[in-house]
Amino acid sequence: MDVIDSIEQQISAHPVVLFMKGTPDQPQCGFSANAVQILKACGVEDIYAVDVLADSGVRQGIKEFSSWPTIPQLYVKGEFVGGSDIMSEMFQNGELQKLLTN
């Protein structure tokens, strides 16, 4: 299975997928830590996280897959949501909570 197929499989198999640097328990950058905090504040307990630092192919592949240049990247119900800044904005205006509960 190539990287893109693996990414597609992960996104379709889990309702909330966060491609991040590190893990939810030990984020390796501030943006990834912020993304995890936002998801937890929204009540998401089961974050399926993919540590892009563990595999350079995934780190590059997810950027190509989404056409988004930065990490973290959030996918909800198979759809790309955005990075930490977009998550923050959506959380502030209540959109992210609605997306995660629908």
Residue 1 CA, distance from chain mean position: 21
Any bridge partners for residue 73, and if so which?
Answer: 19
Give the residue ranges of the annotated binding site for [2Fe-2S] cluster: 29
Q: In whole angstroms, how far apart are CA 6 and each of 12, 17, 57, 58, 59?
A: 10, 13, 11, 9, 12
Give the residue ranges of the annotated binding site: 29
Residues with Cβ within 8 Å of 53's Cβ and at least 6 positions away in sequence, in order, are 21, 22, 28, 59
